Amino acid sequence: MKSFFVSDLHGLIERYEKLFNQIRTDLPDALFIGGDILPNFNVFNNTEYEDFILDFIIPQFQKLKSEIKKSYPKVFIILGNDDPKIEEHKIVTGQNMGLWEYMHHRKVEYSNYVIYGYSNIPPTPFLLKDWERYDVSRYVDPGCVHPTEGKRTFVEKIDLEYSTIYDDLQVLTRNDNLKNGIFLFHSPPYQTKLDRAALDGQFFDHVPLDVHVGSIAIQRFISEKQPLLTLHGHIHESSRITGDWKDKSTNTYMFSAAYEFPELAIVKFDLENLSKVERLIL
């Protein structure tokens, strides 16, 4: 059950090309994509694609599927906090074409496993709030902007004032047995090797900033439910600072594919033997 995990591609064509080439070489059974797949504004202006999903991502996955046919992997994908939610319907289009499963707030059975997806992250200092929720309460770290403020590209029919990541995860999983559960998150869990930001010595209004910026809700969820595997992105510099891109919480393996340098990071693992995971830098 050979699997690839990538995250935070940020619309960089070279990263996508390296990913497709590695898939052609290794022919993994499954590919997990952890969000932040689209270019930011500056990168967008430097590409030839007017619509990155419809003109690049979907055609490239179609081409890959046509080339490797029955060896085409099962693809699970979510969006991240830098991906405007107004683009979500195009990812659903790709799902309807049989290219991938769009996983946000969904669960899908896969072989002996159940895959869950969740894109939302705790409040950040950034202004795009499409994928932000309060974490476990309406508390916001110093320097961060409330999810009810900032900008949104899509109006959701929820009460943002009282919606939390913790409550969302309870609704998503109900009373499921998560022994074979695999979670595709964008945010890493709080106070792990995966959520360390480069905020050392920084203050906001004379208050020191917390260098751990992951989700307390996700941390508590993992601790309480002990799924088999959780996959994360979002904090690019964490592996450089902590020296590791993987962590473990009792029975739960936790991997991050976020990477701050120009190369592509692919986390390669076998679902039948997660202790043998490796990270390939291309």
What pLDDT digit, counting tens, does each position of 99-113 carry?
999 999 999 999 999
What pLDDT digit, counting tens, does each position of 62-76 carry?
999 999 999 999 999
Q: In whole angstroms, what is the distance from residue 183 CA to residue 227 CA?
A: 8
Confidence of residue 249 (pLDDT cuts 50, 70, 90): very high
Task: Please give the mean pLDDT across all residues of the chain.
Answer: 95
What pLDDT digit, counting tens, does each position of 9-51 carry?
999 999 999 999 999 999 999 999 999 999 985 554 556 788 9
**Those residues with Cβ within 8 angstroms of residue 130's Cβ, 6 or more apart along the chain or in another chain:** 81, 83, 84, 85, 86, 152, 153, 154
What pLDDT digit, counting tens, does each position of 118-152 carry?
999 999 999 999 999 999 999 999 999 999 999 99
What pLDDT digit, counting tens, does each position of 162-179 carry?
899 999 999 999 999 999
Residue 207 has what pLDDT? 93
What pLDDT digit, counting tens, does each position of 177-228 carry?
999 999 999 999 999 999 999 999 999 999 999 999 999 999 999 999 999 9
Query: Measuring CA to CA, which residue among 149, 88, 89 is closest to residue 119?
Result: 88
DSSP β-ladder status, 74-78 and 30-34: parallel
Domain 2-281 CATH (choose: 3.90.1280.10, 3.10.20.30, 3.60.21.10, 2.60.120.10): 3.60.21.10
This prediction has a pTM of 0.96
DSSP 54: I
Q: 59 — alpha (psi -120 to 50), left (phi > 0) or beta? A: alpha
Residue 157 has what pLDDT? 81
Query: Measuring CA to CA, which residue among 98, 42, 25 is closest to residue 65?
Result: 98
